[in-house]
Amino acid sequence: MAKTATALPLEGIRVADFSWIINGPQIAQWLATMGAEVIKIESQVYLDIGRINPAGMADRVAGPNRNGYYHALNYGKKAITLNLATDKGRELADEIIRKSDLVLECFPTPAANKLGITYDRVRAVKPDIVMISVSLLGKTGLEPASWVGWGPMACSFVGMFDAQGYPGGPPRQTGGTWPDYAIASAVTFHVLAALRHRNRTGEGQWIDASMGETVIGQMPELYMDYFINGHDGGRRGNRDDAMAPHNTYPCAGDDKWIAIAVGTDSEWDALCRAMGNPAWCRDPKFADRYGRLSHRDELDAHLARWTRGHEHIALAHELQQAGVAAGPVLDSVEIHEDPHLWEWGFFRKIDHHEVGERILPNMPVRMSNVPELNYSMPPDLGQHNREIFGGLLGLSDAEIKILMEQKIIY
Amino acid sequence: MAIRALDDLVVVEFAQMVSGPMCGKMFADMGAEVVKIEPPCAGDEMRAHPPFPGDVPHPEKSGSFLYLNTSKKSLTLDPSTPTGAEVFRKLIAGADVLIENHQPEYLDSIGLGYEALKTINPKLIVTSISPFGQTGPYRNWKGTDLIEFAMSLTGYNTPTMVDDPERENPIRAPGHQAEMMGATAAAAATMFAIFHREATGVGQWIDAPCWQAIASTSKIEMAALTYARLPFSRMRGNVATGLEPLRCKDGYIYTLWAADTHYKALKALLHNPVEMESEVFDLLVGRQANDDVLRPMIRAELLKYDTEHLVSEGQRLGLTIGPVFTVAQAANHPHLRARNAFIEIDHPIAGRFQYPRSLVQMTATPPMPTRAPLLGEHNAEILSRLGYSLDEQQRMRAAGAI
């Protein structure tokens, strides 16, 4: 049956999702919002850290269905509980795999081996499966393939932290768990290519995704400079090869900043006008791009004295009006209040049965022909047990009851 | 020769610098024919950006350009001229996807916006990558990677573990990470649109902004505010949990010790120094409250050991611990070498050197980058295919349209 133009692109695709925490769930969230049926396989033996991390707990009242960390990464999915440490649990997992198009996991190698969630075993269960393994540094290779780690450690391993920091200072850490999200969108693209390949040829495959390799592929300037010239790093703060001023500058208030980037002479003129053309602006050494690049520290000092007296958000608007690339550094309150993000559709209000009205970020893309993606409510722990074990696997209520008592559906 | 998964797709890339070209590269390395439209004469602006061999600028030797444009074909064309627009429309008529990263409304202003292109090719997918998006009050703001990154919560939070927020201004991650996030999100959305088109027969317009893409990498930090009412601040975002490169004898290591079991393992790794034994430190709250005492203690102990020992022994003890490598250390690491994370590519002008191979590894249809095109290298091939005679091509060249 032909799908309607408003159908979601992945309707009819089923994902057996063994992943947890951030990177795997974010991949599955991409797939779920686009219409795939994602069956998230969890267990009370080891709850997803997203369900228990105190920093995301609604109103700091504990409960597995109350966590914002989990909600932000798991909407659009179905959730079942299955104890994979039992033979029967693994057998039921195989039944789900047999009825799925994709298998997703992000366990460290030893844990994946122990649970039997390896490509060799999964392929034996379903030969045309497309399986995605996400890990710190890949599942093949040498010793680091078995390391436990999390996103930022991948940055650390591949030179990103070493290249980050203030000139002359020590290496510093990139904010958040950026590589988890970076690998998620990269994997999503490649898994869809693999799925399309399977649809055309019947051949499945294994995507062995390494956060370290994704980060390498996303900092070509550094790697190419090493491969071409043998140059190795150096910490540069916000310095750029082609732009000056190019930095973040302090504004009025506590820990408030504005980012300003000037590329062309006309942008420089616009910035000078916005500052009221102070005398130092007319110093001939700042007249062209080369001069500005050569005297960037001096420029930064002048600019910082000026920005200090201004409110960061208002100043960014003023500078943009004047034709200068500028943006306020937003904290978490300010980003939630940003009018552009709301108007564009970045945030969504949800009304959750346990935690009430909350705000979650949507996926960061919009599509003209599928204006409404699947943003269904983040699932409660085991919410879809009956639907999946009874419906998909055809178990009777009595059988499900026994499996629950035996802590297999658990 | 491995199979190319997307070898039946034709993509037109009208884009420069990082975001659009990276998105196009992902399709090209998977086998799609990607026709890259470059401005006549200078080409993609990235051709002027370092690194260059020996630091000598040359339009065919920019390492950044060569990486971001692997496996593509280059057509020089100015679609803002009548002839250029005609060629552009002919290309679009036979294309599956257009990737562009111009300011919103620019394509409309030259008569080549989505609504106009849809009439030529209703199945076309237009992927527009921009700093802030096609709608909303900032849509016409000027954006650069620095601006987009700084405005995201990830930008506010970089570097983490700030000792002195007065002096330590937010800095962006090395490279162009906001633009890269915009590129990969756009590529993922474009693949979804291809599935949608194959099921329904219709194309669509994708709005993929870089700021929103990089902002969405701080989802859980955002949730802390709307769920636990914890405003995220640089000062107290992550305390007493490691989360910073720590100096050791011969370099730096990076570890996480948030859990109480991690702290135990860390003590064991450092041979249980007496000063770390106080039961005050046994629980996270105690470590957080006494961070000022504990952190210098751990810093001093770590200086006694080298990276390799700390990492292999720490991993054995169950710590999430790894080295802080330089690019050169990583590029030569036997593990990455064993995984063939790098590939050697020859280029007739720039020469032969290694490149990062792919964002992820696949067994049946691996991404396989081949060299970037010379400026206008495929003009004759593509124009002839579109039905332009050699005379017509000559006239276009003389008029500056190609």
Q: pLDDT in tens for each of the 410 residues of chain A?
A: 345 556 899 999 999 999 999 999 999 999 999 999 999 999 999 999 999 998 899 999 999 999 999 999 999 999 999 999 999 999 999 999 999 999 999 999 889 999 999 999 999 999 999 999 999 999 999 999 999 888 999 999 999 999 999 999 999 999 889 999 999 999 999 999 999 999 999 999 999 999 999 999 999 999 999 999 999 978 999 999 999 999 999 999 999 999 999 999 999 999 999 999 999 999 999 999 999 999 999 999 999 999 999 999 999 999 999 999 999 999 999 999 999 999 999 999 999 999 999 999 999 999 999 988 999 999 999 999 999 999 999 999 999 999 999 999 99
Q: Return the residue of A nearest to B223 by Cα.
A: A68
Residues of chain B contacting A206 with CB distance shorter than 8 Å: 362-363
Terminal-residue alpha carbon distance, chain A:
37
The predicted structure's pLDDT at residue A212: 98
In the β-sheet with A78-81, what is the strand arrangement from edge to edge? A78-81, A37-42, A14-17, A102-105, A130-135, A205-210, B361-362
Which residues in B127-141 are b (16+ Cβ under 10 Å) and which e? bbbbbbbbebebbeb
**Phi and psi, residue B177, nearest 5°:** -75, -30
- Nearest CB neighbour to A221, from listed B5, B51, B146: B51
* Alpha helices, H only, A239-388: 265-274, 289-294, 296-307, 312-322, 332-336, 339-344, 385
The predicted structure's pLDDT at residue B242: 63
Instruction: Say how far apart CA B168 and CA B114 lie, in whole Å.
Output: 44
Instruction: Say how far apart CA B380 and CA B390 lie, in whole Å.
Output: 8
Query: Is A180 an active-site residue?
Result: yes
Identity of the residue numbered A67: N
* DSSP per residue, A65-126: T-BHHHHHHHTT-EEEE--TTSHHHHHHHHHHHHT-SEEEE---HHHHHHHT-SHHHHHHH-
Least confident segment among A6-10, A153-157, B34-38, B366-370? A6-10
Is-contact A217 B339, C-beta < 8 A? no
Q: Are strands A356-361 and A347-352 parallel, antiparallel or unpaired?
A: antiparallel
**Phi and psi, residue A283, nearest 5°:** -55, 125
Would you call B328 and A5 a contact, using CB atoms and an 8 Å cutoff? no
Least confident segment among A179-183, B65-69, B284-288? B284-288
- Nearest CB neighbour to B188, from listed A58, A161, A188: A188
Instruction: Say how far apart CA A156 and CA B325 lie, in whole Å.
Output: 6
Is-contact B137 A159, C-beta < 8 A? no
Instruction: Say how far apart CA B341 and CA B277 lie, in whole Å.
Output: 42
Count of alpha carbons within 13 Å of A86, Cβ hemisphere only?
Answer: 15
Choose among B277, B242, B279, B248: nearest CA to B262.
Answer: B242
Would you call A208 and B205 a contact, using CB atoms and an 8 Å cutoff? no
Instruction: Say how far apart CA A404 and CA A408 lie, in whole Å.
Output: 6
Q: What is the mean pLDDT of chain B?
A: 94
- Nearest CB neighbour to B144, from listed A66, A197, A325: A325
Give which of B227, B236, B316 to mutate to test A binding, by max A Cβ within 10 Å: B227
Instruction: Say how far apart CA A263 and CA A204 lie, in whole Å.
Output: 47
B141-152: average pLDDT: 98
Residue A129 tokens read as 């499966």
For the entire predicted model, the pTM comes to: 0.97
Within 10 angstroms of residue A1's Cβ, the number of other Cβ atoms is 3
Three-state secondary structure call for residue A47? coil
Choose among A9, A74, A47: nearest CA to A350.
Answer: A74
Q: From the candidates A17, A48, A101, A180, which is the catalytic residue? A: A180
Q: Return the residue of A nearest to B162 by Cα.
A: A172
Dihedral of alpha carbons A222, A225, A228, A230, sign: negative
Dihedral of alpha carbons A66, A71, A73, A79, sign: positive
**pLDDT tens digits along B195-248:** 999 999 999 999 999 999 999 999 999 999 999 998 887 765 444 566 689 999
Choose among A210, A191, A205, A207: nearest CA to A145.
Answer: A210
- Nearest CB neighbour to A208, from listed B202, B252, B361: B361
The predicted structure's pLDDT at residue B237: 43
- pLDDT above 70: percentage of residues in chain B: 97
Residues of chain A contacting B173 with CB distance shorter than 8 Å: 160, 164, 174, 178
Instruction: Say how far apart CA B113 and CA A394 lie, in whole Å.
Output: 51
What count of CB pairs under 8 Å joins A to B?
Answer: 544
| Chain B: closest CA distance from residue A398 (Å) | 38
Count of alpha carbons within 13 Å of A33, Cβ hemisphere only?
Answer: 27
Within 10 angstroms of residue A167's Cβ, the number of other Cβ atoms is 10
Rg (CA), chain B: 25
Extended strands (E) in B29-94: 33-38, 73-76
The predicted structure's pLDDT at residue B132: 98
The ipTM estimated for the assembled molecules is: 0.97
A360 DSSP β-pair partners: A348
Identity of the residue numbered B345: I
Q: Return the residue of A nearest to B252 by Cα.
A: A171
Choose among B105, B148, B393: nearest CA to A261.
Answer: B148
Return the higher-pLDDT residue of B27 and B287.
B27
The predicted structure's pLDDT at residue A6: 63
Is-contact B126 B119, C-beta < 8 A? no
The predicted structure's pLDDT at residue B399: 85
